[in-house]
Amino acid sequence: MKEYQHITHDSIKPFYNKDSKILILGSFPSIGSRKEGFYYAYKTNRFFKILSKLFCEEEPITTEERKVFLLRHNIALFDVIKECDIINSSDSSIKNVIVNDFSKIISESKISKIFTTGTKAKELYLKYVGDNFISLPSPSAANASMSIDELVTEYKVILPYLNWLKINILLLFTTSRANSSVGRAHRSQRWGRQFDPGLVHQNLRKCSLNLDK
C-alpha cells in the first residue's frame, strides 16, 4: 500500500522577476519537478509545449532554456500549495494543505492576473485565496481528453495580459528603418543582437492572425 508523505515546497522557489506580468500556479510539484528543481519538469507534461506553440517558438527543453523563455514572455510560476500530505505525485491524494503566500511576488512585480492549471489548483485557490483568477486546463498527460491544439486554444486567454500582439507589432514597426545604418544601430541598441524582424513577422502571421480561433 502506498503511503502518504508530508512534503514542503522548499525545493523549488517561486520563479519571477520585476517585469513578470502574469502568475501561473500549479497545485504542487510532481516528483519529476521536485527532482529537477523546476516547474512542469516531468517528461510527459505539456506545459512548455503548449506555451511554445502559443508563441510560435521552438520548445525550450532544458531548465535554463525554460527560464529564459519565461522571462522573455514575462511569465511567473509558482504553486498554490506550500506543504501537504501526498502520495507520490497524485493530486487526488492531497490533504492537510497549507497554501503559499503570494503577496511578495505580486508586490515585487507587474503581475496583473493569476492563472491556475488543473482542477486541484483551481479548487484550492478558490477555497483558500479567492476567486480573482482564471482557470486553465491541466497540461499533464493525465488530462488525455484534451489534445495539444485544444490546450493551446484554451491558453490563449493569457495573451491579452502579456500585451503579446501589441509588443510584436511594435517590434515589427521599429524595423521600418532597418535598411539604414541609423535603423540598424537603433534596432541593435534597443532589442539586442538576438532580435530577428523576420521571426517577429512570422510570429504575427502564424499566431496573431489566429487568436480568435
The pLDDT assigned to 92 comes to 83
The pLDDT assigned to 2 comes to 78
Q: Which domains does the chain have, with CATH numbers?
A: 5-158 (3.40.470.10), 164-210 (no CATH)
User: What does pTM read for this prediction?
Assistant: 0.80
Cα–Cα distance list, 151 to 117, 143, 147 (Å): 11, 10, 6
CB-based contact 154:137 (threshold 8 Å): yes
The pLDDT assigned to 29 comes to 87
The pLDDT assigned to 83 comes to 95
Rounded Cα distance between 191 and 120, Å, is 40
The pLDDT assigned to 165 comes to 57
The parts of the chain modelled with pLDDT lower than 70 are 1, 164-213
The pLDDT assigned to 182 comes to 44
The pLDDT assigned to 157 comes to 95
The pLDDT assigned to 180 comes to 45
Please choose, from the candidates 26, 59, 11, the residue with its C-alpha nearest in 3D space to the C-alpha of residue 143: 26
The pLDDT assigned to 5 comes to 87
The pLDDT assigned to 177 comes to 45
The pLDDT assigned to 198 comes to 58
